[in-house]
Amino acid sequence: MDARIANNSDKQLVASFRTQRPNPDEIPLRPDFGTAGKEIKLRTNFFPVRIPKGPLYEYDVAIAPAAGTTSRRVKRRIYQLAEQTSAWKQAGLSGNVAHDDSSKLIAARTLPQPLTIKVPYYNEDEQGPPATGGKEYTLTIKFTKELDTSCITKYIHLLPYLLHLVDLPSVILRAIHSTAIMTSYLLFQR
């Protein structure tokens, strides 16, 4: 059993739903939550996220040589190996960055510039890089721009209000459509 739910915290969470009062600006919970059916353990990719108050920093990452790096699998492996290098740790990247295994890196703080990391490459089924003649890639990380996180926070706070607007276009189109049909009907009746 997953240790995160072994202490019945999932049952406590479900019980807390029963005491909550619906907020008119939120989607309501399903009625009779957890009263029928078969109990199962379910994992989802829904998890809380804390958005930092300060800015984030975007960096462009170039991998050299570019030959042989068109495969996502190879790029992912290059980043995996880069994260294990002492240069990655010394530059303060450990625990402070997120990347797309390709050309974009987001950092929680400014990184030293210029920043290059040499990555001795070897496949996952190999013990390590060959003693001689192995591939080596270089990651060159260049500052692109500062990202203001307040716009993300504003968007999240507006989300409940935006959900009400989702049906607006279909309501308007339905009204226009029914008016057009009625107008056409009246024209043919004359």
| Residues near 69 by beta carbon (within 8 Å), at least 6 away in sequence | 63, 75, 78, 137
How confident is the model over 54-79, as a mean pLDDT? 92
Which range has highest mean pLDDT (1-10, 96-105, 154-163)? 96-105
Q: Which has more confidence, 111 or 39?
A: 111
Q: Which has more confidence, 11 or 115?
A: 115
Strand partners, 136: 120
Residue 63's pLDDT is 95
Residue 80's pLDDT is 95
Which range has highest mean pLDDT (46-55, 102-111, 179-188)? 102-111
How confident is the model over 177-190, as a mean pLDDT? 56
* pLDDT value at 130 more than 60: yes
Which residue from 144, 148, 145, 146 is spatially nearest to 51, judged by alpha carbons?
A: 148
Q: What is the largest CA-CA distance in the chain?
A: 92
Question: Where residue 41 falls among pLDDT bands split at 50, 70, 90?
Answer: confident
Helix boundaries (H) for the chain:
9-19, 72-82, 86-90, 150-165, 168-189
How confident is the model over 111-126, as a mean pLDDT? 93
